[in-house]
Amino acid sequence: MYPESWTMLYATKMFVSNQKPHRCQRFLNTLLLPRFRDEITAHKKLSPHLYQCVSKSCFKPSAFYKGIVLPLAESGSCTLTESVIIGSVILKRHISAMQSCAAIYRLACMKTNNFAYGLYFITASTNDELPIFWHKTFQLSEESYANDLSGGQIELLQLIKEKQHHYGISLQITDQLKEVQERLERDGDTRMEAD
């Protein structure tokens, strides 16, 4: 198991550092993604070397999203373990907001029945109680991009939080959003609003 993972780690480093994004994307999609899925299917976890491979692939964010995240979502068979591992990598590697927004837009446009890929603004319109996984993802996203939020975006997040309330997590999100709002009021809101 480990020697193959070492080879994959070396190949990932080489493709991410030396190749153009479209070639890196092809490598990630045709070699790393199937290996990633096979490893999780066979062992119910990911070896540290393959985790490093996925983590290193974030150095080319467009290739990472187009080669791993979007194909995984489009497959319709993404498991919770796979999505948690990818979410962990995204959380640890701060990927630029523009790249993440483009990927979120593509995920929102997908015609998938898998609930795990629903976005905040889509699922906020439902009256059903959402799983804790959704609330934790919402919290982690808010924490990761707190410094990139504008006043209007904070208001939208507060509306979503009020619509989808969780007794423990929503209080933490409220505190975080208040801190960001106070900082914006103190320092001035210089962020550009999205159309």
Which of 97, 113, 129 finishes a domain?
Answer: 113
Listed residues 90, 113, 136: the one ending a domain? 113
**Domain ranges, residue 52:** 1-113
Among 113, 134, 166, give the residue marking a domain's end: 113
* Chain-centroid distance, C-alpha 181: 24
- 55 and 73 in a single domain? The answer is yes
Q: Are residues 28 and 65 located together in one domain of the fold?
A: yes
Query: pLDDT digit string (tens) for 35-86?
Result: 999 999 999 888 888 999 999 999 999 999 999 999 988 887 888 788 888 8
The per-residue pLDDT for range 91-104, each reduced to its tens digit, is 788 777 778 777 87
pTM: 0.59
Quote the distance between the C-alpha of residue 143 and its chain's center.
Answer: 12
pLDDT of residue 6: 63
For residues 108 and 175, membership in a common domain is answered with no
What is the per-residue pLDDT across 131-175, written as a single tens digit (0 to 9) for each?
777 777 778 877 877 777 777 777 777 777 777 778 888 888 888
